[in-house]
Structure 1
Amino acid sequence: MKLTTIGALALSTALGAGTALADGAALTVFDWSGYEDQGFFGAYMEKHGTAPTYTFFGSQEEAFTKLQSGFEADLAHPCSDAVRKWVAADLLQPLDSSKLNNWNAMLAEIKDVDGIVIDGNVYMMPFEWGNTGLIYRTDKIADDQISLQLLADPAYQGKISIPDAASSAYALASLATGNAADYTKLNDEQFQQASDYLRSIHPNIRFYWSDAGQMDQAMASGELEMGWAWNQSELNLIWNETPAKMMRDVDKGIATWVCGYVHLKSSTTPVDQIYDHLNALSDAASGQYIIENWGYPHANAKAYEISDQDLITQYGFDDPKAFFEGSLFFDAVDPALEAKMLKEFERIKAGF
């Protein structure tokens, strides 16, 4: 319903002011599929008449490679663990926090995450955060049976899926092998243990997903029984009356991440329009929308005050610190280790 309302507003504004249509679309955003949802930036739509122009990536590795190859956009949407690498590659320009209207409303736990601020400069405006965890069909697998080790059970051949992303795969493997605390700096023995785990589950993988919707559909149809995925997938399945949920036992293994928007050096759109979009994304109303419609927690603390309190409690968003304590946090991986992960993950997917 909210999408329809916002879409109608955008259309009427565009029809009433033809120049606004081109103005709004002039802003280019490099993003994950799905984040073109106009419910995230209603204030931008009201001011500029239409949505930005979106181009999508399936993984941070893909996004980084494309940007290094010369792809240009105004804004991009990485997660905090990628920011230092993107800064080192000279892809980003700092943000002016004085132009971020909601900066002071950001959750303290989020602002303290490595990669948001580097050497005194703000490089990422945090937007959403949440979990990557093991989602399973509760009509097929009992709660006391579920574990990361179950992914390697031959009984689930062709019935599991994990992301086509080395960082996420090795986070899963580090949790499964008891090396979560050293995820960003695995030694040779720990790296081998993680790689061996990924090889052990490879025969059971039906596909490595690059679009979460692909995994959601396969789990809803019964094609999959387990998948390593994000909060939204769990809620999509529940909303579609599929018996499924995420394993949130920190002792069994779950990961936490923070993602947001960065200002690319290739940006050509006027700065005021850049900040119009960033301020719309970080507004409390945007936070309410993503909490209630996507099931992700938002970076703006005020969003929780205006959102459905039953959902806040149900999703566990009433205690942000609990999300960060005990789980593997996606921090920046040592560059040499990251290169090893990328190379080895390609070998594993190829069956070697």
Structure 2
Amino acid sequence: MNSMFRRLVLAAACTIGAGAVLAFAEGGGDLVVFDWSGYEDPLLHAAYTAKNGAEPTFAFFGDEDEAFEKMRAGFKADIAHPCSQSVSKWRDAGMLQPLDTSRISGWKDLNPGIMAMKNLATTDDGKTWFMPFDWGNTALLYRTDNVTPQEAQSLRIFADPKFKGRVTIGDNVDDAYALASLVIGLKDWTGMTDQQFKDASDFLRQVHKNIRLYWTDSTDIDQAFSGNEVDLAWGWGQTLIAMTQQGVPIAMNRDTKEGMSTWVCGYVLMKDAPGKLDQAYDFLNAVNAPDVSKYMVTAFGYGHGNGAGMAAIDQKVLADRGYDDLGKFLDKTLFQQPVAPELKKRMIDEFEKIKAGY
């Protein structure tokens, strides 16, 4: 990254307010990607680096609400990586610019089932705001040496006093309320009533009594499992793969009595991005390349947005990950779709109280 652009990025970071810290992985290029930790993996955007001669610069966030507030406070990025429940909020706040899909190779190969999800990628005016990149689930992970398969049949295990100090869930309001919504029998949280909100929040307060830590990225949860600090986690497929490779006795139950949560995340183009637009589209082309699909599935445990790339993967590999049938994947799950702004604010405020012990 040239020195002038680095100063601009750091100056923007300084404007986000005291106590708010941005982590960077400097790559040398002008492009700034605001992302989840772990997605700076060079193998996810190899074509970008080959063309531009340098890695993008990555800045990281813990969840999309944190990212939203940092950008609203002045931090500038070219590209960001929100999930389905946040796209409309970011768009309505004027943070995004529409994508020129003619500049994205393989756009027609994006998974048609994901692209058809209402108000996700394209709005009624025909403008496109979101390129699906990864999709997966949040489900019950457990150490098989400390938890039996019979115990792990219900998500209510997270509140079982037997596991006091042995539980971790994400410091992520969407995943937290997805867990609580499932437990109270709610598969569509968009119509959550006041009583359901109270019941869900009460369950999270019970879980809080068992919490060892609220994890913020894959390193936190992986270290907690590998160090035998926790027995239970509400987490993602990446942890299952990482811990299995390390020999940690772990399993994921995607078929609990209450079900699991599903999500779709992807890349958006930020309005007034400080970098070069050509590089932004180079990045989008790189991460959408069909040869990224197998790496995404095998290394991260997630599905890839490029349907053509997914179709080329051995069906047994896809079936083992649960990604061989998108319709089946979404069936009987809570899909993290956008909720009304007032409900989202209630969730954010209440989750902060719960974590503080109130």
Q: Could you state the TM-score of these two structures normalised by the residue count of structure 2?
A: 0.89
Q: Deviations over 1:162-205 (max 9, x none)?
A: 11111211110000111222x12311100000011001111100
Maintained 8 Å contact 1:160/1:225? yes
CA-atom RMSD in angstroms: 1.5
Maintained 8 Å contact 1:292/1:307? no
Secondary structure at 1:132's aligned position in 2?
strand
Q: Deviations over 1:333-352 (max 9, x none)?
A: 11111111111111111111
Q: How does 1:162-311 map to 2 (within 5 A)?
A: 162-181=169-188, 183-249=189-255, 251-311=257-317
Maintained 8 Å contact 1:287/1:298? yes
- Give the equivalent residue in structure 2 for 1:347: 353
- Give the equivalent residue in structure 1 for 2:107: 103
Distance in 2 separating the partners of 1:188 and 1:23:
47
Secondary structure at 1:257's aligned position in 2?
strand
Structure 1 pair 23–196 and aligned structure 2 pair: CA distance change class (3 A): closer
Gaps of 5+ in 1: 1-21
Q: Deviations over 1:295-328 (max 9, x none)?
A: 2110111222443544222112211211111110
Distance in 1 separating the partners of 2:256 and 2:122:
28
Q: Which amino acid aligns with 2:123?
A: I
The ranges of structure 1 where at least 4 consecutive aligned residues each deviate by more than 4 angstroms after the TM superposition are: none
310-319 or 37-46, which deviates more: 310-319
Q: Which amino acid aligns with 2:105?
A: N
Q: Could you state the TM-score of these two structures normalised by the residue count of structure 1?
A: 0.90
Which one of 54, 58, 65 corresponds to residue 61 of structure 1? 65
Secondary structure at 1:122's aligned position in 2?
coil
Structure 1 pair 240–308 and aligned structure 2 pair: CA distance change class (3 A): farther
Aligned-pair CA distance for 1:85: 0.3
Higher helix share: 1
Secondary structure at 1:266's aligned position in 2?
coil
Maintained 8 Å contact 2:185/2:258? no
Which one of 160, 167, 185 corresponds to residue 160 of structure 1? 167
Maintained 8 Å contact 1:250/1:326? no
Gaps of 5+ in 2: 1-25
Distance in 2 separating the partners of 1:208 and 1:23:
29
The number of equivalent residue pairs is 330
Maintained 8 Å contact 1:78/1:261? yes
Which one of 47, 62, 86 corresponds to residue 43 of structure 1? 47
Identity of aligned residues (%): 43
Secondary structure at 1:56's aligned position in 2?
strand
